[in-house]
Amino acid sequence: MGLRRQIGGNEASIVRAAQNGSEDALATLFRSHWPMAHRAAYLVVRDEAAAEDIAQEAFLSAIRALGRFDRRRPFGPWLHRIVVNRAIDWSRARTLRREVSAMPEPAELPASAPEEKPYSDQLEAALANLAAESRAVIVLRHLLGYTPGEIARMLGLPRGTVNSRLRRALDRLAEELEESG
Amino acid sequence: MNEDRLGRALLRAPVPDQEEAAERAWRVLSAAYAERDRTTPGRRRSLRLAWMAIAIGLLALLISPAGAAVRHWVRDAVDIGREPSSPALTSLPSPGQVLVDSPSGPWIVQEDGSKRRLGDYRESIFSPRGLFVAATTRHELLALDPQGEVRWSIARRGPVTHPSWNSPDGFRIAYLDDRSLRVIGGDGLRVIGGEGRGDGLLRQGVAEVEPAWRPGADHVLAFADPDGSVHAVAVDSDRELFDTGPAQVPVALAWSADGSRLLIARRSGVELVDAAGTPVKRVRAPAGTRISALAASPRGHRFALIVRSGGPTPRSALVLAGERGHSRRLFVGPGAFSGLAFSPDGRWLLLAWRSADQWVFLEPSGRQRIVAVSNISSQFSPGETGPTRFPRIAGWCCAAP
């Protein structure tokens, strides 16, 4: 489970090559990490444009700091920490804006004769009913494969808080999925 | 809950526009990286310079129009007078030609901003590749070339309204003759696979809604009845494919680019139905608002719509939606938005903001730029000294032939 298991052990040499100016190495890093970074951002913010911005800005930050990057450390967790924290910040800001919004957004309704949706679609709908902070811990734990301790360090939270957030989020997801069929 | 299944579902959950987003991101990142790499005569010094270059780049992003647009996007709303706008339409942000119906007749606007008036006509529409324009007078349907020369015309008792040219072969034009829906060959005479008539009645007593051709060679036309039911008919065989049943009369009909979805915009919401007329999704307009216009993206199943709130201080919103994912407001402003169109490559939206006498070009993804142009009415009514009617966007078609 998780991205870290899928990337080969030569990441340090790829990072070193990128630090030395190899665009091929940068492209390799991008190809390895973009899909999950973008997916993680989207699953937290649930906004296509914002997810793209967030993932892109995280990579720009990575390039900016590439020269100082400690090659003994894995690249992914550092990138994911930026992505998920930015995604949470964006979601909080959006919630505040919605409270003062002059015009609500159109509401999505199921069609009158919907076909049974695949589990991933049902899950997506269930995730939408969670707070962004809860979506973030779900994504970090179950998409990216981090342990609760690692998530706690990434989000700057006590480990107990992460555990309870995970438990509550999973319970809520289970309820929602049960209701939707 | 099964946590393995959860992990797999998170991996499979659809992420819209994933490949294109990756391409856009790579272009930005490789450019930023190249900027960093160009400053490498001494590694320590290069680090400082790379830092500076990227910082300058980011600062430029923030203060450039593109950066401004990003901030506007985050803020979600732009007010009259606060968005810097160009006083004249000097270019289009994307290849193609815009067709505009003004009080003085239709105009074709080229990518470099030059424009040509086609004549004294009421409504117009591009042929599929932009090589011709179908236009109407009160009692005539005509086909014009881009210079405004009449290629053919047909007179009707009329009034002749709502022309719609099929795509991609261009062999059919549907139009309303008063409340009768008629179809004619795109060359004005020839009807391929039809009954040999140059012009034929398809239905009588239809609603005043522009009919919509399904993209493809099978000549399927969607139209609305006065009871709000929407029909899809294979025109050549006159076979009805589906009938949605009575509802609010639509304000607009449009097919997705692949022809697999019909979008039915009613005042209270947009319904997506599949090729058999089965509902797939519905997007409801919020209470106190109504939908006034719809455009389908030339790529995928995305669509844009205009939502307007009433009351003493009406506001309008441009909303981007799709079959999957949530709707997204792109632009909100006071007053009325009167029309919209996607660019031929689907990357830009043109929004007609009647209350501000502006056109607003918006790039929903990628760099998310926004370009506003003022004084639209006077640009399409040269010589007029009094108030003029705001022009209607009739289409944004392919690059000039």
d(CA A1, CA A142): 8
A·B CB contacts under 8 A: 186
d(CA B323, CA B137): 38
pLDDT of B348: 94
- Return the closest-CA partner of residue B173 out of B147, B204, B152, B149: B152
Search chain B and give the residue with CA nearest A170: B1
Of A39, A93, A112, the CB nearest to B279: A112
Q: Which residues of B touch A110 (CB under 8 A)?
A: 281-282
A181–chain B nearest CA distance, Å: 14
Q: Between B338 and B72, name the one with better pLDDT.
A: B338
Q: Which residues of B touch A51 (CB under 8 A)?
A: 15, 21
Give the full edge-to-edge strand order of the sheet including B115-117. B115-117, B105-109, B97-102, B392-397
pTM attached to this predicted model: 0.60
User: Residue B138 pLDDT more than 80?
Assistant: yes
pLDDT of B49: 39
Of B11, B24, B29, the CB nearest to A30: B29
Q: What is the pLDDT of residues B327-378, one digit of tens each?
A: 888 888 888 899 999 999 999 999 999 988 999 999 988 777 889 999 899 8
B364/A60 Cβ within 8 A: no
Search chain A and give the residue with CA nearest B6: A142
B34/A59 Cβ within 8 A: no
Q: What is the pLDDT of residues B218-267, one digit of tens each?
A: 999 999 999 999 999 999 888 999 999 999 999 999 999 999 999 999 99
Q: Which residues of A touch B74 (CB under 8 A)?
A: 93
B330–chain A nearest CA distance, Å: 10
B29/A26 Cβ within 8 A: yes
Q: How many CA atoms lie within 13 A of B77 on its CB side?
A: 18
Amino acid at A73: R
Q: What is the pLDDT of residues A81-110, one digit of tens each?
A: 999 998 998 888 766 544 344 455 666 655
B52 touches chain A (CB under 8 A): no
B124–chain A nearest CA distance, Å: 31
Residue A15 corresponds to which tokens in the numbers above?
Answer: 């990072």
Bridge partners, B213 (sequence order): B221
- The region that residue A146 occupies, defined by phi over 0 for left and psi between -120 and 50 for alpha, beta otherwise, is beta
